A and B are shown apart, each in its own frame.
Chain A
Amino acid sequence: MARITAGVATSHIPAVGAAIDLGKTHEPYWQPVFAGYEFSKRWIAEHRPDVVVLVYNDHASAFSLEVIPTFAIGCAESFAPADEGWGPRPVPVVQGHPELAWHIAQSAILDEFDMTIVNRMDVDHGLTVPLSLMFGQPQAWPCRVIPLAVNVVQYPPPLGHRCWNLGRAIRKAVESFDDDLNVMVWGTGGMSHQLQGPRAGLINRDFDTRFLDGLTRDPEALARLPHLEYVREAGSEGIELVMWLIMRGALAADARETYRFYHVPASNTAVGHIILENPR
């Protein structure tokens, strides 16, 4: 039987990817950011997942305004890094897990989540930066990845509570998959940041801390936070944090916090990162 062992959440800032790709990780500006992931790299080397269900948002790379799926699951064999305007990131092609992806899609649809099934999709920094932060710069990613793209660009994005419930549906799906697989669910994006307009640069450490605390201790209450509060408190792009609730919903109620890291700033954004583990 497949089982979900852990959840990881992390910001997916494009400038962090650029710093890795351009060999700037030891510069004084970037050093504290990457130092915060040293523990995580060791941890994941010890807890090697077979498959990561990676929840992220596309940033007008694979999806323009022509088609805007709320929840899109990548069922392809592989996914190429997207050209976001300055050439694709020099990172390995992402290998999917079509059998498990299709299984999750079918199970979630029968659970009343109307997933969009995607058989061709390039993946942008939203997906590849978390892989780089956790795995460094290998020749090939050490696990299979199922991309789960969530719309947080066009309003309204899905409610936090919907994301939480989707996480629960993913857990049910994974636990009914016959192969013996170690599966992790990652939530990405956030934390507080605003990239647009005269209010750009907004950071809210108090909100972020409360969010990180609530994620472990009282996720059901956190899942009821309205969109307005995310935008008001965590900035317009802070709305990405709803995706972390999919990760949390996929874990057990008594999952415990293994690690946490928080740093301001990386470019325009507060970097947040947490590892939660299910009881064995």
Chain B
Amino acid sequence: MDAQRAGSSVPSGRAQVAEPINEMFDADGRARPECAEVIAYLLAMDSQRLAELGDRAHRMFQTMGVTFNVYGDREGEERIWPFDPIPRIISPEVWAGVEAGLIQRAQALNAFIADIYDEAQILKDGVVPRDLVIGSTQFRHAAAGIQPPGGVYITVAGIDLVRGADGRFHVLEDNLRTPSGVSYVIENRRMMTRLLPELIRALRVKSVENYPAYLLASLREIAPGGISNPTVALLTPGPFNSAFFEHVFLSQQMGVELVEGRDLVCVDQKLFMRTVRGLKRIHVLYRRIDDDFLDPVVFRPDSLLGVAGLTAVLRAGNATLANAIGTGVADDKAVYAYTPAMVKYYLGEEPLLPIVETYLLRDPEVRAIVLRDLDRYVVKPTGASGGYGVVIGPRATDEQLAHAREAIEANPAEFIAQPVFPLSVHPTLNGRIEAGKASLVPRHVDLRPFVLLGEKPRVLAGGLTRVALREGSMIVNSSQGGGSKDTWVLEA
């Protein structure tokens, strides 16, 4: 197989952007069966009451301090979590397929990480180009030789899905480093049980409350061998991190300490936290900081967020890190193009979840075709996450396109292009109570489900539905004007 081309494709002709589907209504404007009850309920409300839903949610999130931080001019600006009270419904049949696909994908990606930091058989077999992996900004030489218990490298995966014109969920990208958002799934549900309790009860919605217990179980399962009652801690970069609310939330719900780098110390290749009663051993560290900041001995020497000597502790097998060092190489946007091949290679199965067609711009032929019609593609930097640096061709200004073209020509290997994907739309509340009325308008949505690997895989029912609140926008990131919805997976 030609490794340079394997899994990668060449754009053919001028792709037409299909019309996005509406998740609640079919093309003829009829309610989809799983949404009928919710629609009937919402239609029975007058616009005043509808508007009140949004306002009550905002006020309650404010009082409870459900916030996220935005990086920007002011350090650590705190914003109220943006929430849309119209729930998104997923039928049990659709969810069963998605869940199986998520587990399959997480396991294949985990096998890939285990392989490339060990024998790298997949590279030798030419299924994935070696330079793409070794040259990735997320490849970590320090990860070689660290073998986590149970072979679990990816304890938590956030796999972003989008629903296409055919109604099928496609994988948009993988988040395998420190995926965030799960606390808002639970807070959104708690909010909905206050706003519309009778509707949730009537529909029999799958619970999401068990996630912290699932996460704790998964973390305890990967503790170093021979430890019967392991101590777990959550490592946060601190209150200025965009996801700090979530770090507090999860540590609280799991009943584990929320530690910062300065709370930790490594002694005799063991990891400890400094408590009022002296040093206490930690066996499993659920870290929410990037590799680069983990250990100043091995990574960035100027980092104050991690703890010196951690890598040596991991190598000695005296503590487990979740997720392991170097998992980011599997969520590289160029490596993404080869993920269906990984599923076949490691599991011998056909991928259950399709990915979005992806063109690697390091290929001169591919690049030439894409650059000819740059305004028809979405361009993404391979190493970034959180929607940063993404250029959506049809919505970009000439200046932005010229900028992107320049960047691509300077460093073609650092970009991929995808056809514009017709993200599905979902009815979303528009209008505030001051205006005295509200209406429902279609807005683009995506879905971030959470998969946990331990002794066995566990999947949170549903996930975080993000919604682009601006008309026509496809950017769902909360840092860039996105909102969120509660996701209701119905019981079978």
- Do A and B come together as binding partners? no
- Enumerate chain A interface residues (CB-CB to B < 8 A): none
